[in-house]
Amino acid sequence: MINVTKTYLPSFDEYTAILKRAWDKSWITNNGELVQELELKLKHYLGVPHLLFTSNGTVPLQMALKVFNIKKEVITTPFSYVATTNSILWEGARPVFVDIDPHTLCIDADKIEAAVTEDTEAIMATHVYGIPCAIEKIDSIAQKYRLKVIYDAAHAFGCTYNGSSLLSYGDISTCSFHATKVFHTGEGGCIIAKEDGVAQQLLLYRSFGHLGDDYLSIGINAKNSEFHAALGLCNLPAIGEIIAARKQVYLEYNNRLKLKKIQQPEFAKNADYNYGYYPVIFESEKILLNVREALLKNGISTRRYFYPSLNRLPFLNNFQHCPISEDISSRVLALPLFTSLRTEDINQISCIVNELV
């Protein structure tokens, strides 16, 4: 079976050698030295002032809304993983969906201002597949209406925009370090803040709201363990090699697929990418379903990523029409992409897709 993704793993001996430092001290959680070291190295790699290693990539979105006391409307994208919308709903706020740009698949910044009301408190946008949102336009709107900007940058580790990490933009940026991501810690994520005071409050939120015996605020358990940090410390030095290998797979697909029959999202010229995904957009949902079925019959799994369009989630109280997102989500499919995907496998996948498009 060829899965849509395959977790990159370092050598087991390398992993256990790092983990042994925590094992020998019997300090395996509660902000251990491996967690602290990983945070320092991630801040250096990303060029950001404040970063907290967290249990996953979803809780940081909730923490971001909480730290800014967001309770009313949040302008957001319908084309993202469900965690983006769920975090808004979980915090008791209301998602206001703005349709996407048909080329980048990120939120259409030209439509955001029309969605601003007196109840709007924040913009939560996703850098889809690591493609940058219209950062300058979003910042301009946010400043005009005094809105907070939170970026769901789950796909964006290793991506840059104008020479800076894509995770360095916005009032807060979050990332996922799930095992399926380009950089991972098995399970995990991070939250990045620019302001010292915000970062300090997030530190409290991550650990039940207390420091030692001093209980200073509400909080939750968003900590991560030394087991996960050790994996991150193994994987981080290899990130350049990982991205380079993924790029080669991406280019192999480009060389073999009939791209005139397939739409792809557009990359910005002033950005570098991590090649986390290989999304293809077919002419119709019928073609997508035929391709998916044919690939599955040959032992090849794919993923409808993202599907459905989040404005159509069945548990939402009101329907907001987003025709572009609804259309794209019905026709987009992520093909297998991981560092060890063989050329012959790429060729087999491409032949099946080409025959059906």
Secondary-structure percent of the chain, ordered helix, strand, coil, rounded to 5: 45, 15, 40
Cis peptide leading into 132, omega within 30 of 0?
no
Mean pLDDT of the chain, nearest integer: 97
- Rounded to an integer, what distance in angstroms lies between the CA atom of residue 320 and that of residue 127? 21
Domains of the chain, each with CATH number or no CATH: 12-237 (3.40.640.10), 239-356 (3.90.1150.10)
Q: What is the pLDDT of residue 257?
A: 97
Band (pLDDT 50/70/90 cuts) for residue 318 is: confident
Q: Is 90 exceeded by the pLDDT of residue 99?
A: yes
At 223, list the tokens. Answer: 């900590």
Which DSSP string do the residues of 145-162 spell out, in sequence order? HT-EEEEE-TT-TT-EET
Mean pLDDT for the stretch of residues 245-264: 96
Mean pLDDT for the stretch of residues 69-93: 98
Mean pLDDT for the stretch of residues 60-67: 98
Contact 173, 190 (CB under 8 A): no
Q: Give Cα separations from 273 to 7, 73, 121, 132, 268 (angstroms).
A: 19, 31, 30, 9, 9
For the stretch 274-306, pLDDT in tens is: 999 999 999 999 999 999 999 999 999 999 999
Q: What is the pLDDT of residue 269?
A: 87
Q: Which of 85, 86, 84, 110 is nearest to 99 (CA)?
A: 110
Mean pLDDT for the stretch of residues 68-88: 98
Q: Is 90 exceeded by the pLDDT of residue 268?
A: no
Q: What is the pLDDT of residue 107?
A: 98
